[in-house]
Amino acid sequence: MSVLRFEALPLPYFINSGFSLAGPGRKHPERWAVGEFDLIVVKQGCLYIGEEERRYEVSEGHALVLRPDLHHYPTEGCRETTASYWLHFQAGGAWRAGDPEEEEENGTMEEERLESGGGEKEDEAAAGWFRKPTFGIELPQFARLLHPAKMYEALQRLIDLDRNSHMDSVRWEQQALFQQALMLLAESMRAERSRPGEEIADRAASYLRSRYREPISSKDLAEALNFHPVYIARRMRKQFGCSPMEYLIRCRLEQAKRLLLQTDLSVAQIALETGFRQAAYFTACFGKRERMTPREFRLRFLKG
């Protein structure tokens, strides 16, 4: 399955949408690198669309996202009356395309392309505590919708609002409906494919985040999740780019930065509050990650 991954914030954003009713013989238009994503949802009938070397039959209850940088073309005309919604959107930030199944087989994400729209992660030391918290959004390029009726309703509402889209409040509502449509699309992908490795990594992360104050070993984590520590570490490196213990240190430092800014606790007290047994070790970990000492961090944002 081809998957599109967007780095947010900023979020992908809605441009416009519409509804198309095509009789037998009608074809999807041919386009070259139109510069925006095109979400197509078929409510009745079937559309026959190609994107570069891939060919799709988008039938009732299915959705297809056409990329902004590739050639799209009809592979044949409609065989029956076909009703479909279309929606154009931009990534907002960085995005890439790849195949998670190849990632599982080869151990790496084979990226087809990376586009930058202002969503790159900033240098943490420069951005400081007030940097934008980014996260990933994964969407299937082609999927059978888990809740097609909900998708139709959201897309129809987007179209109905268009007559008043000159109003800021309406544009805001349209953006919210668009995010709802993306969530429905993502939900369909999660239901379609099962990736137990991701679940293990997420469970490990939740365990570590909920117990960051406690002394935790790899053995403790393995016993809690009932998986071998080597397997847990491999899954976390694949999903989060670090080992479980490195992830635990990150969690502790996140909490420490909050306490530095929101309390007048001493550095030694904050070290104990966040699971560091020694203030010197806390200071060393903090300096390695933030490129400044805890005191310097506190003064940087609280002076004046």
Domains in the chain, please, with CATH? 3-192 (2.60.120.10), 196-302 (1.10.10.60)
Instruction: Say how many CA atoms lie within 13 Å of 227 toward its Cβ.
Output: 17
Q: Return the pLDDT at 102.
A: 59
- Residue 291 zone, left/alpha/beta (φ > 0; ψ -120 to 50; rest): left
pLDDT at 194: 55
Residuewise pLDDT in 10s, the chain (304 residues):
789 999 888 899 999 999 999 999 999 999 999 999 999 999 999 999 999 999 999 999 999 999 999 999 999 999 999 999 999 999 998 999 987 655 555 544 444 444 444 334 434 443 455 556 788 899 999 999 999 999 999 999 999 999 999 999 999 999 999 999 999 999 988 766 556 677 899 899 999 999 999 999 999 999 999 999 999 999 999 888 899 999 999 999 999 998 998 899 999 999 999 999 899 999 999 999 989 999 999 888 776 5
Q: What is the pLDDT of residue 238?
A: 87
The token pair at 271 is 């070290």
Q: Identify any residues that bridge with 6 across adjacent strands, giving them in sequence order.
A: 95, 137
From the centroid of its chain, how far is CA 260?
A: 30
C-alpha closest to that of 113 among 3, 188, 30, 31: 3
Question: What is the length of the chain?
Answer: 304
pLDDT at 111: 43
Compute CA distances 155 → 72, 74, 160, 161, 166, whole Å.
22, 23, 9, 10, 18
What is the rounded (10 degree) CA torsion for 57, 63, 67, 73?
A: 30
pLDDT value of position 196: 67
Burial of 233 (0-12, 13-18, 19+ CB in 10 A): buried
pLDDT of residue 116: 43
pLDDT at residue number 26: 95
How many C-beta atoms lie closer than 10 Å to residue 176's C-beta? Answer: 11
